[in-house]
Structure 1
Amino acid sequence: MSRAITIVLLVVSTAAPALAGASKDFTHAWSRRFGGEQIELLRDVCVDGAGNVIVCGHHAGDIDFGGGTLSCAGGDDAFLAKFDVDGNHIWSRSFGDSSDQQGIAVGVDAAGNIYLTGWFRSIVDFGGGPLTGPGNEDTFLAKFDGLGNHLWSIARGGTGSDRPNDLVVDSWGNVVITGWFYGPVADFCGGLGCAGGQDIYLVKYNPYGTCLYAFSWGDASNQQGLAVAVDMNDDILLAGEFYGTVDFGSGPLTSAGQADVFLAKFYGDTGQIYFAYSYGDADHDAVAAVAADLDYIYLGGSTVASIDFGGGALDGGAGWDVYVACLDAYGAHYWSRIFPDADGSFMMDLILTDTHCPAITGYYGDRIDFGGGELVSAGQEDIFVAVLDPGDGGHVESASFGGTGLDYGDALASAPGDYLVLGGYTDGTIDLGGGPLANAGYYDVLLARYLLGPPGFPPEVVVSIPDLLVQETAPPVDNHVCLTDVFWDPEEGSALAYEVVGWTNLDLLTATVDADSCLDISFNELMDGAAVVTVRATDSVGRSIEDAFEVTVEPLPDAPLIQGIADVPNDQGRTVRITLRRSGQDDLGATTPILQYEAWRRLDPLPPAAAGRPVPPVR
């Protein structure tokens, strides 16, 4: 027999919570290796709206991406290649002469047009005629259609050296490039003067290659722009490193010692400064990438000692360690994390997945843990890939790839359907999940695609079920805890299924979910104690989250009540039977058959005539 206890539960929710940590299936889709006997390096990767993969980099020897051998004309030549969603070759191109040309960054617009930037010495021709630069190393920007046909190309720079480091395409097809230049003047959009050493440049072009604006910043020390992104308003995020002092227009930022990290935000239409901050200590601090959505900005990089983004110092190990920081749209700290490795680890790229999770790649030398357990290097340097929770930086998924040689993760891109594309290079045999890929020479290009899991967000706990304290009582009544008030599905139209995972102290209670998605709890009336109940909510594609709470049943005093037994005269030799269970009741007013009884007797003195006669037992 069970007795139901009334539970009153108030759940209040004012807003949808941040995404909680959830596991995803990091599933290999395909992987490729390309290379020859010389050095071939992948530098960047992007994905168009159809899921096609575009890569850029440079090669010092022959390389074949599947469409025939691309021969190197001398030095380094830039390459550009496109693959379909299954990793099959669509087209590939190589650009160069006897000097050096390197493809550094690539982007794609909504129409599938491709933008390639990099640097060159001497002459380079992308299909629109030879381009020459005024200096030792100059920046190029070329646009191609989705079939690889040349649309336009330009060369910019000064009499010294200038190199781009990153490129981003905004929602209008405008292109923003950042990098560094050294020399008296660099012409990106009118002359930009160099203050000494390496200076930062930021330049924006429209879809036809016309310069919209350009800026430079620096002093006599070295500074460079390393990463650029746009948010959902097309405002520009610029990140880089600097020695000395740099002023983006909101006041000077001064390095605390060696190179420090800077982050600056500009209005996309005018280039006017929105804010600028610096981060670092007396040691070297580096940044690799910046990414942004409507509400948050993500920075990824490496630090030698410690770095503070506003949430307290992130202290690493003895060498370089990877960090990730999340800031709000105004640059205020939201969360930040560091992932130490005793032998040094380096961040190379950070992007946002389809579900707005930050994904990172780079390389490490010993052991690194992103929250899902240690990843152990198989050789000298191994590739890491990790996906983090946008709400707090917690672990979502992580993996390591490597052999006995040097393996580097250099670039990531998000693909439709919550796929992740990884680009890198290796000097040995490596298995990216689809079997060993043998090295053909020195460094070879690596390319792989992974499924992170079903697109969208997992269920969330709006407000955890509070621990419940109840007392034995009567009469029995029904009770309900409505799980629709506890769990929430951020995807509209996806119903949740609820179940009781289990509970401790199995004899104390029974928990079930009824047809109205409410939790019913019934208690054993003969017991008190505590039990932990765990419930689970699962969405339509199998993602789930659990919540647990403790139920405590406090006992009421259960001393039996005695109604009294009347004196019973007894003649010597007669047996008298008294039924005790009809007289004993517990404090709830019910006859309690589990009461235990005992009896004893008191002997009154017998008359002298009865002395020595046996006394019958009490029964």
Structure 2
Amino acid sequence: YVAKFDRNGDLVKALNIGGSSRDYGRGIATDSNSNVWTTGLFEGNIDIDGDGNNDLTSNGTFDSYVAKFDSNGDLVKALNIGGSSSDYGRGIATDSNGNAWATGLFNGSIDIDGDGNNDLTSNGLSDSYVFKFSDPTNLNNIDENVAANTVVGTFSTTDPDTGDTFTYQLVAGTGDTDNAAFTILGDQLQINSSPDFETQSSYSIRVRTEDADGQSYSNNFIININDVNEDPTDLNLSNNSINENLAVNIVNISGSSDDWGRGIATDSNGNVWATGSFSGSIDIDGDGNIDLTSNGDDDVDVYVAKFDPGGNLLKALNIGSSSNDWGLGIATDSNDNVWTTGSFSGNIDIDGDGNIDLTSNGDDDGYVAKFDRNGTLVKALNIGGSNWDRSNGIATDSNGNAWVIGQFQGNIDIDGDGNIDFANNGTTQQYVAKFDRNGTLVKAFEISFQEHFNDIATDSNGNAWAIGYSHIYDRISTQVVQFNSNGTLVKALSFDGSLDRGYGIAIDSNGNVWVTGSFKGNIDIDRDGNNDLTSEWPSTDSYVAKFDRNGTLVKALKIGGSSNDYGDGIAIDSNGNAWAIGEFQGNIDIDGDGNNDLTSNGGTDSYLAKFDSDGHLLEALNIGSRSNDYGNGIATDSNGNVWATGEFQGNIDIDGDGNIDLINNSGNDSYVVKFPETIVGIVGTFSTTDPDTEDTSFTYQLVPGTGDTDNADFTIDGNQLRIYSSPDFETQSSYSIRVRTEDASGQSYEDNFIISINDVNEAPTDLNLSNNSINENVLAIVGTFSTTDPDTGDTFTYQLVAGMGD
């Protein structure tokens, strides 16, 4: 018997498999289409489906049987396995493709498939058999997209009566769902229209075969449609127009003497805050007007400046005393307050109101100042003792706390309460201090052994990471330390080198730690006994290293050439890319592939390099003049833009296009520069339409062919189309490119795209006067003005204004 019960144990179907002799059921299994396969053994004649007709006759005493029923219990197929002796079916199973596997015992010779021929002969008294039963392979698979009326396969019939002829027809019954999609001509099954796997992956039909005497047999067939990898059918670009003049925003901070750009940070609105130092008078926004003047002609004061996202000056503050003062670090908190730190000597006016805010305890003290978003002073602290003290870096966490690093000699009062927090014998020691949002000291640490910490960053859990270097005897080694939000030391990493220093640190959204600095000779970053990087001896090279949140080294990169190179700062953008800034001389290989990526313009140039989250170089440019130029600070905003600051001598090319962007006034001038999300402007992103829904990965490349005129002006990074240089509408108003998309199997599609350049109204570039001399004692027209403007057809007005030369 075969019985079917529902999930509650209620009987659904009962079948009697039997004849006049002995019959035994031994095994049962279901396939992926809910068909039921059973095996056992029988003697004599047997009725499998209980319709009163014998379906099988044994060849010997006992034969095995295999029977297939559909989910309703209707017989689909029955066959006997046997020979002249006794044979026993023991077990049956199905695989994921709907095939049935049967096993049992046999004696002598045995016919497995019921065609009248012996397939196996036992070696002894009894042997085991295993066989696989499948539907005819030429009738259950066909490729998608074949033409209408394609022959799927041919029918054949098994009949005990040799010599019978047969007809075939589609009939109603179990499995007839898709009969209308097919036609039978003779013994050939044809599909009426071209199949599409993505629309329908299989068809079910029911067919009857009938011999000349009208005896018939019906069966259900599943026609599977093979998924053929098809070519993509369309290629799309998210944007096909960009503004002209993708040039960077550049601010020249210059004055009558030397100026130094040191730190930079951005707030939630995309505004940027910069700090540094200056001597004499200084023009912060490059408009020709003096914005700040130091307290003494030869004294150095600190500037703090706020710019909007377009680089327009919003606020300028002078932090100064009668001695030298240095602005070294700056950070913003989640409420857009700005925290800044540095060092000063004597009495200092923090907010430029003319009143003394802090007085140093000794030679130099460190200061910490908090301003609100409008630049109003909220809190000012001095960190110092009787000797020399300095604050080098500052960072804020998500709770508005500020972490400060610095160094001191002798005794030091961290929070300005008049009590000594740490004391030593006069050697240089380091401190790490945490202040709450109100400027109250929460925790402070002393770090000894001639350490020098340069930068600090916080992660999303409120942990603080600091980087610097130790100087023990003749060895200088990078140090990276982690403190948890309670101020407890969690981890300390020390590079194994002899002349390496850490200068910059940043944390990405996954808690990975990126650091940069310099090294000479060999350096083992993770102290596993193997050198990770080797400099171009005897020069100093830069390094960039990535650690996971546990401090395990993930990636190490060398940035270097035949001269000296130094890594100064690093920042992470909203896409997880790392931006590194530093300086170099001569030629430099940024990504360590053995090829020079940049060449300095003269002495020392700044480099700016962008790496993806895996450490692959995406872009690099140099910022430089024929003199010496230095990149000191770097930050990113929420829109993926990167801001940098530093100083330059001579006339400087900021964006590496070969044109002078800023003119140096005297000595060192500072710069603040904003680059868009990519140095090479993103035009848009590609996407592909593909009939194969499982195809989700595509590559894109510029290819020759119709419309490839301007391929050389673009590059493709992943699925992003980028333009190499800033476009100018007046020079070229549109570009034509040809792009190919390809799926993982190599199927491709090509298309031509037109990139339109939007005409942006640009500022005039020059003002001319037709005559600049007149005779005395004559009332006359001096001359007429004319304007040079990139935008043809513009009209102009003229007026006398205040400013330099008025």
Normalised TM-score (structure 2): 0.53
* Change in 2 beyond 3 A, CA 1:484/1:26: farther
Give the drift of 1:501: 7.9
Q: Which residue of 1 aligns with 2:555?
A: 335
Amino acid paired to 1:279: F
1:43-122, aligned counterparts within 5 Å? 43-66=262-285, 68-74=290-296, 75-122=299-346
Conserved? CA contact 2:319–2:349, under 8 Å: yes
Provide structure 1 residue ranges, at least 5 long, that are not aligned to the other structure.
10-24, 245-254, 461-478, 488-497, 504-534, 552-619
Q: Which residue of 2 aligns with 1:197?
A: 427
1:167-566, aligned counterparts within 5 Å? 167-188=394-415, 191-194=421-424, 197-219=427-449, 222-244=450-472, 257-268=474-485, 270-281=486-497, 283-293=498-508, 294-310=510-526, 312-318=531-537, 319-371=539-591, 374-391=597-614, 393-433=615-655, 435-453=660-678, 484-486=695-697, 538=719
1:399 counterpart SS class: strand
Amino acid paired to 1:419: N
Q: Which residue of 2 aligns with 1:163?
A: 390
Give the drift of 1:295: 3.0
* Change in 2 beyond 3 A, CA 1:185/1:102: closer
* Change in 2 beyond 3 A, CA 1:149/1:370: same
Count residues with an aligned counterpart. 461
1:116-131, aligned counterparts within 5 Å? 116-127=340-351, 129-131=356-358
Give the drift of 1:297: 0.7
Q: Of the two, which has the highest radius of gyration?
A: 2
Rounded Cα–Cα distance in structure 2 between residues aligned with 1:224 and 1:499: 48
Give the drift of 1:229: 0.6
* Change in 2 beyond 3 A, CA 1:68/1:192: same
Q: Deviations over 1:299-338 (max 9, x none)?
A: 1111011212237420111211010111111101111111
Q: Deviations over 1:417-446 (max 9, x none)?
A: 111111111111012137431110000011
Conserved? CA contact 2:683–2:720, under 8 Å: no
Rounded Cα–Cα distance in structure 1 between residues aligned with 2:533 and 2:392: 26
2:475 counterpart SS class: coil
Rounded Cα–Cα distance in structure 2 between residues aligned with 1:146 and 1:382: 33
Rounded Cα–Cα distance in structure 2 between residues aligned with 1:482 and 1:367: 48
Q: Deviations over 1:351-404 (max 9, x none)?
A: 11121111011110011122485201110011110001111x111111112121
* Change in 2 beyond 3 A, CA 1:451/1:537: closer
Rounded Cα–Cα distance in structure 1 between residues aligned with 2:700 and 2:280: 60
Conserved? CA contact 1:537–1:546, under 8 Å: no
Q: Which residue of 2 aligns with 1:151?
A: 378
Rounded Cα–Cα distance in structure 2 between residues aligned with 1:154 and 1:412: 25
Give the drift of 1:459: 9.1
Conserved? CA contact 2:271–2:308, under 8 Å: yes
The answer as to 2:250 corresponding to 1:31 is yes
Q: Deviations over 1:472-527 (max 9, x none)?
A: xxxxxxx996553445xxxxxxxxxx879889xxxxxxxxxxxxxxxxxxxxxxxx
Name which of structure 1's ranges 126-135 and 448-457 shifts more when overlaid on structure 2. Answer: 448-457
Q: Which residue of 2 aligns with 1:495?
A: none
Conserved? CA contact 1:159–1:186, under 8 Å: no
Conserved? CA contact 1:176–1:204, under 8 Å: yes
Greater RCO between the two (CA within 8 Å, min separation 6)?
1
Q: Which residue of 1 aligns with 2:207?
A: none
Conserved? CA contact 1:344–1:365, under 8 Å: yes
Rounded Cα–Cα distance in structure 2 between residues aligned with 1:335 and 1:149: 42
1:561-580, aligned counterparts within 5 Å? none
Give the drift of 1:198: 1.2
RMSD: 3.5
Rounded Cα–Cα distance in structure 1 between residues aligned with 2:740 and 2:645: 31
Conserved? CA contact 1:458–1:545, under 8 Å: no
Conserved? CA contact 2:523–2:532, under 8 Å: yes
Rounded Cα–Cα distance in structure 1 between residues aligned with 2:561 and 2:424: 38
Rounded Cα–Cα distance in structure 1 between residues aligned with 2:245 and 2:550: 33
Rounded Cα–Cα distance in structure 1 between residues aligned with 2:404 and 2:395: 7
Amino acid paired to 2:272: V
1:34 counterpart SS class: strand
Conserved? CA contact 1:536–1:546, under 8 Å: no
Q: Which residue of 2 aligns with 1:133?
A: 360
Rounded Cα–Cα distance in structure 1 between residues aligned with 2:612 and 2:717: 20
Rounded Cα–Cα distance in structure 1 between residues aligned with 2:741 and 2:483: 39
Conserved? CA contact 1:53–1:85, under 8 Å: yes
The answer as to 2:259 corresponding to 1:40 is yes
Rounded Cα–Cα distance in structure 2 between residues aligned with 1:502 and 1:228: 46
Conserved? CA contact 2:258–2:279, under 8 Å: yes
Rounded Cα–Cα distance in structure 2 between residues aligned with 1:545 and 1:223: 54
Rounded Cα–Cα distance in structure 1 between residues aligned with 2:445 and 2:560: 36
* Change in 2 beyond 3 A, CA 1:273/1:451: same
Name which of structure 1's ranges 404-413 and 537-546 shifts more when overlaid on structure 2. Answer: 537-546
Rounded Cα–Cα distance in structure 1 between residues aligned with 2:278 and 2:425: 34
Rounded Cα–Cα distance in structure 2 between residues aligned with 1:325 and 1:545: 34
Rounded Cα–Cα distance in structure 2 between residues aligned with 1:258 and 1:385: 29
Give the drift of 1:32: 1.8
* Change in 2 beyond 3 A, CA 1:373/1:110: same
Conserved? CA contact 1:375–1:399, under 8 Å: yes
Rounded Cα–Cα distance in structure 2 between residues aligned with 1:545 and 1:285: 45
* Change in 2 beyond 3 A, CA 1:209/1:26: farther
Amino acid paired to 2:504: A
Amino acid paired to 2:544: V
Rounded Cα–Cα distance in structure 1 between residues aligned with 2:669 and 2:561: 26
Amino acid paired to 1:70: L
Rounded Cα–Cα distance in structure 2 between residues aligned with 1:537 and 1:106: 35
Rounded Cα–Cα distance in structure 2 between residues aligned with 1:348 and 1:545: 40
Give the drift of 1:130: 2.9
Rounded Cα–Cα distance in structure 2 between residues aligned with 1:320 and 1:299: 17
Conserved? CA contact 1:383–1:400, under 8 Å: yes
* Change in 2 beyond 3 A, CA 1:266/1:499: closer
Conserved? CA contact 2:322–2:348, under 8 Å: no
Conserved? CA contact 1:344–1:364, under 8 Å: yes
2:405 counterpart SS class: strand
